[in-house]
Chain A
Amino acid sequence: DAGITQSPRHKVTETGTPVTLRCHQTENHRYMYWYRQDPGHGLRLIHYSYGVKDTDKGEVSDGYSVSRSKTEDFLLTLESATSSQTSVYFCAIRSQGTEAFFGQGTRLTVV
């Protein structure tokens, strides 16, 4: 077990409401990533972090923000959820030279 937990595991929310997903690790990995998985698109990178308060955008960052105030936590926020953000979200962690370890995923439905 790589010591990575995503919460919540499932969420249904209404259009226009803010939503925050949490990724928590106990392994002290430097890198943390947020992906969304949609049929036909694979895993697309939303945002990632390479240290506390160090973050950068991925390929599908519009409508999303992140924060990493502690090594162990990486938060993904949808400021105003839209139906196009209905997806399965994965958090991943890694260190230099290691493979990535994944959370169990969060299924988010925006109605």
Chain B
Amino acid sequence: AQTVTQSQPEMSVQEAETVTLSCTYDTSESDYYLFWYKQPPSRQMILVIRQEAYKQQNATENRFSVNFQKAAKSFSLKISDSQLGDAAMYFCAYYYTGANSKLTFGKGITLSVRP
């Protein structure tokens, strides 16, 4: 069974600093997708970044980047130059490319940003 683990329930970062959110996953598959979603207090789920397992290059979207370590099954999110608007809950998610696959989430991490 595929599982996604986010072991840190909460983190805090100073505005303009850098923070890294951790995620590990367990799978026996070789071809899959990984995602980070942001959920602000509005409850809306917003895609932050995605990574295809077959790509060795780490994905980057502006201030957001990932450190994808396939052998270690690790997928961490780095937020650079943190802003007050980054304060939210962040979820790591996974699905493999086979037919009928589930979309599995971690428990999430609450990020607070100190002004």
Contact = CB atoms under 8 A, between A and B. Distances in A.
Interface of A: 31, 33, 35, 40-45, 48, 50, 54, 56, 58, 88, 90, 92, 94, 96-97, 99-100, 102, 104-105
Nearest to B9: A40
Contacts of A45: 102-105
B25 interface: no
A59 B78 CA distance: 30
A56 B106 CA distance: 20
Main secondary structure of the interface of A (DSSP, over half): strand
Interface residues of B, number: 22
Contacts, number: 51
Nearest to B109: A42
Interface string B75-115: 00000000000000001010101011011111110000000
A104 B44 contact: yes
Nearest to A100: B103
Given A33-B103, A43-B91, 8 more contacts: A42-B105, A45-B102, A50-B100, A56-B100, A92-B103, A99-B33, A100-B35, A102-B45
B55 interface: no
A87 B35 CA distance: 24
Interface of B: 6, 9, 33, 35, 43-45, 47, 50, 91, 93, 95, 97, 99-100, 102-108
B105 A105 contact: no
A94 B102 CA distance: 11
B107 A42 contact: yes
B47 A99 contact: yes
